[in-house]
Structure 1
Amino acid sequence: MFVTFLRFAENRNAAPEFMAAHNEWIGQGFADGVFLCVGSLQAAAGGAILAHAESRDAYDARIAADPFVVQGVVTAETYEIDPKRTVPALDFVKTAA
């Protein structure tokens, strides 16, 4: 399971220009069954993604393909989580103990 923080970078003012492509990229992440939750970081700092069901290499490649990342609108920082306890609705993300 991964948590990625997309923090606005130097080219942040170009966000409107690439927003449609970024939203299409997000939609593909959901369609592929990888993204669980996507949202904005408060205080207009960027965004965050909760994801699963993909290898780290494949996930890193997916993040690198985000138009916001490609265009320098955001920088991405990903953390890998090894979930051991969840609410029942998230049991599917747990790894074997």
Structure 2
Amino acid sequence: MFVMELTYTAPVERVDELLQAHVEWLDAQYEAGVFIASGRKQPRDGGVILAVADDRARIEEIAAADPFTVAGVCAYRITEFVATKTAPALAPYRQQLPA
């Protein structure tokens, strides 16, 4: 599982100009089964996405396609972790520690 933390690198007014395209990109990733949660950080200086994929390279590819990234208004920090414990509703995403 991956935590994708984005931080705005441009004024929020520029971010807002791209928000609809970003939301459409988010929707496509939810439909593909990659994203399982997302939202703005408070204070509003970026956002956080929880994602699942086979490998980090795929997540980096997805982040690079975000309209925010393409327009240069955010930077991503991607953290991979092994989700060995989850809420019951997230049980399908539980992982085993590598041997």
TM over 0.5: yes
State the alpha-carbon separation in 2 of the partners of residues 60 and 28 from structure 1: 16
For 1:27, the aligned partner's letter is: D
How many residues get paired?
97
| Other-structure match for 2:59 | 59
Tell me, yes or no, if the aligned pair for 2:36 and 2:50 is still in contact at 8 Å: yes
State the alpha-carbon separation in 1 of the partners of residues 45 and 10 from structure 2: 12
| Other-structure match for 2:83 | 83
**Secondary structure of the corresponding residue to residue 62 of structure 1:** helix
**Secondary structure of the corresponding residue to residue 79 of structure 1:** strand
Identity %: 35
Pairwise CA RMSD: 1.4
1:70 equivalenced with 2:70 (yes/no): yes
The TM-score with structure 2 as length reference comes to 0.88
State the alpha-carbon separation in 2 of the partners of residues 72 and 38 from structure 1: 20
Runs of 4+ aligned structure 1 residues displaced above 2 Å come to 10-13
| Other-structure match for 1:92 | 92
**Secondary structure of the corresponding residue to residue 91 of structure 1:** helix
Tell me, yes or no, if the aligned pair for 2:53 and 2:59 is still in contact at 8 Å: no
State the alpha-carbon separation in 1 of the partners of residues 87 and 15 from structure 2: 35
State the alpha-carbon separation in 2 of the partners of residues 63 and 54 from structure 1: 15
